[in-house]
Structure 1
């Protein structure tokens, strides 16, 4: 049986850009958000994983990247990528596409 992990940090207000809402199904967004707050950073490289882990400990901004379409490659940027960013002060978490940054 899989153990449920507790959230690592507060999300604050959760918002989404028009592009993220247009390209991503709400159920998938909720799944990605659950992964984000448990420390599963998705399709980021080893350096970004280390940066995020440090950010959780020290209260900095956290960024995760997930594929919009799971059947297609996702490198953490580009057309098939959904970003989730939680601000350093934990006041807001935003779903957005990389081109909306």
Structure 2
């Protein structure tokens, strides 16, 4: 998998890591890597993806109060166990951002 990077982030991401499931699929599928990169760039700009309005508002508050941030992004091209979603979680202390499938939480 190529190195992921962010440009003009609205907050510090800390170390960017991926779970084994995400990493394995990224090693097999370049389109999935592009989806991850696009999703990560949305996350760091405060575009929380495919969350409901209440969860988006919670993230907006968490950004101001240095709490944990969670985004969800869907792409039906990459179903895993029937789920085509990745989550991106940035820890409250901004030490790390993890990219994972929901069933890996």
**21-30 vs 37-46, which deviates more?**
21-30
RMSD across aligned positions (CA): 2.1
Q: 2:51 aligns with which of 40, 44, 69?
A: 44
Distance 1:59 1:47, change over 3 A: same
User: Is 2:71 the counterpart of 1:99?
Assistant: no
Where structure 1 has 5 or more consecutive residues not aligned to the other structure, the ranges are 73-77
SS of match in other structure, 1:28: helix
Q: Deviations over 1:50-94 (max 9, x none)?
A: 00000000000000000133699xxxxx71110000000000000
Q: Would you say the 8 A contact 2:73–2:87 is kept in 1?
A: yes
Q: For 1:11-50, what aligned pairs fall within 5 Å after superposition?
A: 11-24=13-26, 25-50=32-57
Q: Which has the larger helix fraction?
A: 2
TM-score, normalised relative to structure 1: 0.82
Following superposition, which runs of at least 4 residues in structure 1 exceed 4 angstroms of deviation? none
Deviation at 1:18, TM superposition (A): 1.2
Aligned mates of 2:72, 2:23 — CA distance in 1 = 15
Distance change (3 Å), C-alpha of 1:84 and 1:42: same
- Secondary structure of 1:21's counterpart equals helix
Q: What is the TM-score normalised by the length of structure 2? A: 0.79
Say how many residue pairs are matched: 92
Kindly indicate whether residue 83 of structure 2 is the aligned counterpart of residue 79 of structure 1. Answer: yes
- For structure 2, the residue ranges without an aligned partner over 5 or more in a row are 1-6, 27-31
